[in-house]
Chains A and B, each alone.
Chain A
Amino acid sequence: MHQHGPSDFTKSKKTLAKPNIRNIVVVDGVRIPFLQSGTSYKDLMPHDLARAALSGLLHRTNVPKDVVDYIIFGTVIQEVKTSNVAREAALGAGFSDKTPAHTVTMACISANQAMTTGVGLIASGQCDVVVAGGVELMSDVPIRHSRKMRKMMLDLNKAKTLGQRLSLLSKFRLNFLSPELPAVAEFSTSETMGHSADRLAAAFAVSRADQDEYALRSHSLAKKAQDEGLLSDIVPFKVPGKDTVTKDNGIRPSSLEQMAKLKPAFIKPYGTVTAANSSFLTDGASAMLIMAEEKALAMGYKPKAYLRDFVYVSQDPKDQLLLGPTYATPKVLEKAGLTLNDIDAFEFHEAFSGQILANFKAMDSDWFAQNYMGRKTKVGSPPLEKFNNWGGSLSLGHPFGATGCRLVMAAANRLRKEGGQYGLVAACAAGGQGHAMIVEAYPK
């Protein structure tokens, strides 16, 4: 099924292999279906989801458990009982208890950080085989007692006499009981991400209609990909006490008329970001087997893709919170020696329609490049026909810690399916950070 795709364009470089640096490959990657939070996964714990992804990866790749040198997982909202969720999941998934595991966190690019940490371990010769993944369970989040209540409870623990205890208890006030909820808000600015996205859309004059239209595109493409069975990274998950989950449940192509009826969700009453053009709270997990190329070949694998150059960027968390892709894309292209035209498959994380469209406008603006990025010219915006062709976070869902692996696998699988050579993965993250990586198809 060799198609004549956009890859026939003459590339700036034949390959991104570098002398004296190990080639690092993705053997394969999987994810459990991404579900809207509060649905089938709601009674599970995060490491349960991570376990399912790991088991799925074992099943898909048949990798002997004892060859795995290291396991890294990304997660954002941590379950306090399993703060090193990578270790708990690995043990529960039957990996060798001799394989160390650690957990990383970098907001929406946590899984990307897990993967690139693995790349670093392999490139420096510390490891040959790494499993990287990510997990998020938004159905259950740690809701805490207030600081005052916590303080009183801790002091009570230390109190020795009844008198001390009573005197502590006498300080109790009813407002101590009001709980603390984790918010999807920036710690530094206290602004929720949706609010920032709405301001970003306004700053770039992205209209409500354009945002709705883009969201509809994401859902329609995801539906098509789902129907055509293209989302092959999914592994079914038999949820204890429930039916086996086999597909994502957030894909809901609607009509522009229906979407136009929704009220703004953040900047009321006149904002443009709504529930329909934002990514939704999602439960899910992903995992990926990364190896040094020679190791993979020695073990008889046919890898799917190379993981090539990558960058992390960061900028103002207030006004440029979601512009990570704009900053990261030209940087990673330059680093790899490619141009935007060399890229056959773009996989960008879609936090909000408005965020994606604002990034397009920023990437297409010389003024922005010159005044904010210190560049002479714009990088240009990705052509839509190569962009998130199998849906994106808006439609497939966005379990914060797990999305990174989905993006890389989507790029790798699309390159195989559509016949391209280079894929570009990019994402924004809370804290005003961003990431981009070049994925190169493994020659068939």
Chain B
Amino acid sequence: MVASRAIGSLSRATASRMFRCPGYVCRNFTGSSALRSRTHINFGVKGDVAVVRLNSPNSKVNTLNKELQSEFMEVMNEIWASDQIRSAVLISTKPGCFIAGADINMLASCKTHEEVTRISQEGQRMFEKLEKSTKPIVAAISGACLGGGLELAISCQYRIATKDRKTVLGAPEVLLGILPGAGGTQRLPKMVGLPAAFDMMLTGRNIRADRAKRMGLVDQLVEPLGPGLKPPEERTIEYLEEVAVNFAKGLSDKKISIKRDKGLVEKLTSYALSIPFVRQQVYKKVEEKVRKQTKGLYPAPLKIIDVVKTGIEQGNDAGYLSESQKFGELAMTKESKALMGLYHGQVLCKKNKFGAPQKEVKDLAILGAGLMGAGIAQVSVDKGLKTILKDATLTGLGRGQQQVFKGLNDKVKKKALTSFERDSIFSNLTGQLDYQGFEKADMVIEAVFEDLSLKHRVLKEVIPGHCVFASNTSALPINEIAAASKRPEKVIGMHYFSPVDKMQLLEIITTDKTSKDTTASAVAVGLKQGKVIIVVKDGPGFYTTRCLAPMMSEVLRILQEGVEPKKLDSLTTSFGFPVGAATLVDEVGVDVAKHVSEDLGKAFGERFEGGNIELLKEMVSRGFLGRKSGKGFYIYQEGVKTKNVNSDMDGILASLKVPPKYGVSSDEDIQYRLVTRFVNEAVLCLQEGILATPTEGDIGAVFGLGFPPCLGGPFRFVDLYGAQKIVDRLRKFEAAYGKQFTPCQLLIDHANSANKFYQ
């Protein structure tokens, strides 16, 4: 991910805080530059090789902000001017980060797309100078080399990367709704070929060093070192520098060639792509695929294809011009602002604002080895937590253990883990049927069935004195669960999303009695498990389930009004939801949906009405529980990819049919009936204090419920779309259906004032 830092904080830094490499040699150097203290760059000379070391102060990452860029160009100009220097090495001394990207705050402060285009052009010019350098420049990459960092690296003559897990290369701009704006769209296809370049730029995926080597993205790999006479990370960077300096020397002495031997497949591919007709086919195919996947909701991928095409078909000048212009246009789009907002939100939700817990959780126990319990176990053992997985039956436990093993083994198949690492991670898991060892547990997470009396029984059975009791429930109020405990300050909700190893969100629920330390503990565990975390107040349905429920109720009504499940799915996905609404019910489980609607219906009354819950009840009684039972709105069969509508549903739907209302049943109306009920409930959660911040509301909706990322979450959506327009829509639906669509006060306030959720 492209990272950003506030520029203001950088100016406070002093040169004395800079990391100085002990191998620093400075000799035969004309001018004052080498000794002048700089903020971001330390510059030395080894023989005739200049070594430029990046390390932005007060930050975990280096970003290509204005200060760093200007210092960098100053240093490069001196290198080019010097007679003694024949080559250069560019390296970061910051552990785990080469350059994490451009500073996205630079873009946020721009008012017009022309301004952004100018930023892009400055970047293009800077990297063009590097590319044309007569003195070879070696990029020595250790850690994240992303976005602008990658563009810089591929402008250099040679790249050497550390072969560790932290070293990744990638062009993630598309995930922020923009494109690589400093020559990346033009250089990358030349370096790795058209198909691989499209893959990198359109998916934004991170590429590990060994794969980058095979692709031709880097020229040499350096193995990470273990302990020696210094800490491993420090010595590894030093070693990378030593190796890079030798290669720089070799390049300037013409002992090493920058030409790479291409394999047969690569040669054939590049030959094929030299034929214009083949290229046209590639553009067409990629474009088709992108249109299908983005449904036209995301402008960036199509522009990337366009810019790459322009460069290849019309030459460099046209390519660079198009890149900078499209970059400017994209940075001004709503989609880009929404995606950047999500990025910032994600960074915020990866921090523990409750501080460090008094006692770190080391031993975890999970009750219930079902889908959720085993999923939680998997993400816990993965991060070194000693985990007990307890179930009531050997069959249930075995299934859970197998799920954890399979999750880890799939990583082995993808080469993200070695089989040895898998085994050693798996050894953190203890499966059992009794409560042995619970007396040592620092935290117990219960993931048993959604049944309060069962949870109470479990809470009483567990009885450890010091440990946190967390309940993984999606709807049951935590205070009702806590009522059975003698230590309610130690009871908290941890709402995971299924599948736990894939879904990033964790919703933590605190009651009035939950202590701050308990919250800190739960957040710390969640962060360890790699989750993005929102912390919300207790209440029926908390935040996520509560927002989803009215929308689900609307789903039922829409189906009752005669909209086919397939049609409904396509309406929701074309609005940007990753999963269609009917499919979502199947995935969540019809029985779970029924449970939740009943519970929340009781709690909130009229506002949560709409569809007839009999529909769900009927489905449950017929055994149509969704994917898990093989039938729901659709039929699910092992190995069959295409989904067929469950025709047995026709009768049920027919018996509950209601006539659609005139004027509120167009495709667009249907989409907005769903979305506005969701958004209205989300804003009400903020109004009622269930949510602490709009950011958490957006992150929860997008990462937990699949709210369209291109809209940035319900709150960002209100800001970008306009509160007044949403209120207007709600009023129109209210006229037809009643109170379920009555806009909440906070939303009305925003509509009446110029207030925004994000300033």
Are A372 and B227 also in contact (CB < 8 A) when A189-B418, A189-B420, A203-B235 are? yes
Give CA–CA (A202, B420) in the complex, Å.
25
Give CA–CA (A368, B246) in the complex, Å.
28
* Interface members, chain A 189-221 (any B CB < 8 Å): 189-190, 195, 198-200, 202-205
* Interface members, chain A 171-202 (any B CB < 8 Å): 187-190, 195, 198-200, 202
Beyond the given A205-B229, A270-B243, A365-B229, please list 4 additional residue pairs across the A-B interface where CB-CB is below 8 A.
Answer: A199-B223, A203-B225, A203-B232, A362-B228
Do the beta carbons of A319 and B223 come within 8 Å of each other?
A: no
Do the beta carbons of B246 and A320 come within 8 Å of each other?
A: no
Do the beta carbons of B226 and A320 come within 8 Å of each other?
A: yes
Listed residue (A316, A361, A367) with the most chain B CB atoms within 10 angstroms of its CB: A367
Please give the residue numbers on chain B whose beta carbons come within 8 Å of chain A beta carbons, in ascending order. 220, 223-232, 235, 239, 243, 246-247, 418, 420
B230 surroundings in chain A (CB, below 8 A):
367
Do the beta carbons of B246 and A270 come within 8 Å of each other?
A: yes
Listed residue (A188, A316, A371) with the most chain B CB atoms within 10 angstroms of its CB: A188
Give CA–CA (A362, B659) in the complex, Å.
83
Do the beta carbons of B227 and A368 come within 8 Å of each other?
A: yes
Give CA–CA (A318, B227) in the complex, Å.
11
The chain A residue sitting closest to B246, CB to CB, is A270
**Cβ contact of A205, chosen from B228, B246, B247, cutoff 8 A:** B228
Separation in Å of the B162 CB from the closest CB of chain A?
Answer: 12
Separation in Å of the B423 CB from the closest CB of chain A?
Answer: 9
Q: Does A408 contact B (CB under 8 A)?
A: no
Do the beta carbons of A319 and B418 come within 8 Å of each other?
A: no
Separation in Å of the B238 CB from the closest CB of chain A?
Answer: 8
Do the beta carbons of A361 and B418 come within 8 Å of each other?
A: no
Q: Does A358 contact B (CB under 8 A)?
A: yes
A189 surroundings in chain B (CB, below 8 A):
418, 420
A372 surroundings in chain B (CB, below 8 A):
227
Q: Does A152 contact B (CB under 8 A)?
A: no
Q: Does A267 contact B (CB under 8 A)?
A: yes
Do the beta carbons of B226 and A319 come within 8 Å of each other?
A: yes
Do the beta carbons of A368 and B225 come within 8 Å of each other?
A: no
Give CA–CA (A358, B235) in the complex, Å.
14
Separation in Å of the B255 CB from the closest CB of chain A?
Answer: 11
Do the beta carbons of B227 and A199 come within 8 Å of each other?
A: no
Separation in Å of the A351 CB from the closest CB of chain B?
Answer: 16
Give CA–CA (A357, B243) in the complex, Å.
20
The chain A residue sitting closest to B229, CB to CB, is A365
The chain A residue sitting closest to B424, CB to CB, is A188
Give CA–CA (A149, B148) in the complex, Å.
50
Do the beta carbons of A318 and B226 come within 8 Å of each other?
A: yes
A316 surroundings in chain B (CB, below 8 A):
226
Do the beta carbons of B420 and A203 come within 8 Å of each other?
A: no
The chain A residue sitting closest to B220, CB to CB, is A270
B224 surroundings in chain A (CB, below 8 A):
199
**Cβ contact of A204, chosen from B220, B228, B246, B418, cutoff 8 A:** B228
Separation in Å of the A106 CB from the closest CB of chain B?
Answer: 19
Listed residue (B231, B235, B243, B420) with the most chain A CB atoms within 10 angstroms of its CB: B420
The chain A residue sitting closest to B247, CB to CB, is A270
Do the beta carbons of A371 and B227 come within 8 Å of each other?
A: yes
B243 surroundings in chain A (CB, below 8 A):
270
B239 surroundings in chain A (CB, below 8 A):
202-203
Give CA–CA (A214, B669) in the complex, Å.
82
A368 surroundings in chain B (CB, below 8 A):
227-229
Separation in Å of the B246 CB from the closest CB of chain A?
Answer: 6
* Interface members, chain A 108-147 (any B CB < 8 Å): none
Do the beta carbons of A203 and B418 come within 8 Å of each other?
A: no
Do the beta carbons of A187 and B420 come within 8 Å of each other?
A: yes
B225 surroundings in chain A (CB, below 8 A):
199, 202-203, 319
How many contacting A-B pairs (Cβ < 8 A)?
57
Separation in Å of the B427 CB from the closest CB of chain A?
Answer: 13
Interface size of A in residues (CB-CB distance below 8 Å): 26
The chain B residue sitting closest to A188, CB to CB, is B420
Give CA–CA (A189, B243) in the complex, Å.
24
Give CA–CA (A60, B541) in the complex, Å.
87
B227 surroundings in chain A (CB, below 8 A):
203, 319-320, 368, 371-372
Separation in Å of the A209 CB from the closest CB of chain B?
Answer: 14
- Can you list 26 pairs linking A and B with CB atoms under 8 Å apart? A188-B418, A189-B420, A190-B418, A195-B223, A198-B223, A199-B224, A200-B226, A200-B228, A202-B223, A203-B226, A203-B228, A203-B232, A204-B228, A204-B229, A270-B247, A318-B226, A319-B225, A319-B226, A319-B227, A358-B228, A361-B228, A361-B229, A362-B228, A362-B229, A367-B229, A372-B227
A319 surroundings in chain B (CB, below 8 A):
225-227, 232
B228 surroundings in chain A (CB, below 8 A):
200, 202-205, 358, 361-362, 368
B220 surroundings in chain A (CB, below 8 A):
270
Do the beta carbons of B229 and A267 come within 8 Å of each other?
A: no
Separation in Å of the B234 CB from the closest CB of chain A?
Answer: 11
Give CA–CA (A267, B220) in the complex, Å.
11
Separation in Å of the A269 CB from the closest CB of chain B?
Answer: 8
Listed residue (B227, B246, B247) with the most chain A CB atoms within 10 angstroms of its CB: B227
A365 surroundings in chain B (CB, below 8 A):
229
Give CA–CA (A199, B226) in the complex, Å.
7
Give CA–CA (A200, B227) in the complex, Å.
8
Listed residue (A189, A190, A198, A319) with the most chain B CB atoms within 10 angstroms of its CB: A319
Separation in Å of the A379 CB from the closest CB of chain B?
Answer: 15
> How does the 8 Å CB contact mask read for A9-42 relative to B, with 1 for contact and 0 for none?
0000000000000000000000000000000000
Give CA–CA (A203, B220) in the complex, Å.
18
Give CA–CA (A320, B418) in the complex, Å.
19
Separation in Å of the B511 CB from the closest CB of chain A?
Answer: 45
Separation in Å of the A402 CB from the closest CB of chain B?
Answer: 28
> How does the 8 Å CB contact mask read for A251-271 relative to B, with 1 for contact and 0 for none?
000000000000000010010
> How does the 8 Å CB contact mask read for A350-391 relative to B, with 1 for contact and 0 for none?
000000001001100101100110000000000000000000
Give CA–CA (A187, B423) in the complex, Å.
12
Give CA–CA (A189, B226) in the complex, Å.
13
Give CA–CA (A203, B233) in the complex, Å.
10
Separation in Å of the B257 CB from the closest CB of chain A?
Answer: 12
The chain A residue sitting closest to B420, CB to CB, is A188
Give CA–CA (A198, B230) in the complex, Å.
17
The chain B residue sitting closest to A267, CB to CB, is B223
Give CA–CA (A262, B316) in the complex, Å.
44
Give CA–CA (A373, B225) in the complex, Å.
18
Listed residue (B225, B239, B243) with the most chain A CB atoms within 10 angstroms of its CB: B225
Give CA–CA (A335, B227) in the complex, Å.
26
Separation in Å of the B411 CB from the closest CB of chain A?
Answer: 16
Separation in Å of the B138 CB from the closest CB of chain A?
Answer: 13
The chain B residue sitting closest to A364, CB to CB, is B229
Give CA–CA (A367, B226) in the complex, Å.
14
Give CA–CA (A200, B235) in the complex, Å.
11
B420 surroundings in chain A (CB, below 8 A):
187-189
Give CA–CA (A361, B243) in the complex, Å.
21
The chain B residue sitting closest to A187, CB to CB, is B420
B231 surroundings in chain A (CB, below 8 A):
371
B229 surroundings in chain A (CB, below 8 A):
204-205, 361-362, 365, 367-368
The chain A residue sitting closest to B423, CB to CB, is A188
> How does the 8 Å CB contact mask read for A46-64 relative to B, with 1 for contact and 0 for none?
0000000000000000000
Give CA–CA (A339, B285) in the complex, Å.
74
Separation in Å of the B424 CB from the closest CB of chain A?
Answer: 8
A199 surroundings in chain B (CB, below 8 A):
223-226
Give CA–CA (A367, B228) in the complex, Å.
9
Give CA–CA (A199, B163) in the complex, Å.
12
The chain B residue sitting closest to A200, CB to CB, is B226
* Interface members, chain A 266-295 (any B CB < 8 Å): 267, 270
Give CA–CA (A361, B420) in the complex, Å.
30
A318 surroundings in chain B (CB, below 8 A):
226
Give CA–CA (A204, B228) in the complex, Å.
5
A204 surroundings in chain B (CB, below 8 A):
228-229
* Interface members, chain A 291-345 (any B CB < 8 Å): 316, 318-320
The chain B residue sitting closest to A270, CB to CB, is B243
Give CA–CA (A187, B225) in the complex, Å.
19
Separation in Å of the A360 CB from the closest CB of chain B?
Answer: 12
